[in-house]
Amino acid sequence: PVSWRAGAESGWVRTSPEIALKRAICAGAGSVFEVATVARAGEHGAHHLPEFHLLEWYRVGGTLADLRRDVEAIVTG
């Protein structure tokens, strides 16, 4: 987690859903994904926000071509 302070509020936000997703796979969930609000501390720029939405997914099995189709489907909507 990243320490976070926004105005009068402070707390912790996670940097990635990776650990929870990998645990779900190990428990037999199969392929999994999550769209999560995450944060990165220290990176700043005109095209960067410290808090953003992240899509993270893990495919059980499949080929590189399957992964490519996943990415194309996500990007083209």
Q: Is the CB of residue 14 less than 8 Å from the CB of residue 38? A: yes
pLDDT in tens, 16-51: 889 999 999 999 999 999 998 887 777 677 777 778
* pLDDT computed for residue 72 by the predictor: 94
Mean pLDDT rounded to a whole number for the chain:
82
> What pTM value is reported for the model?
0.65
Residue 4 pLDDT more than 80? no
Joined together, the tokens standing for residue 19 give: 């650990």
Residue 6 pLDDT more than 90? no
DSSP-assigned letter for residue 47: T
Residue 69 pLDDT more than 90? yes
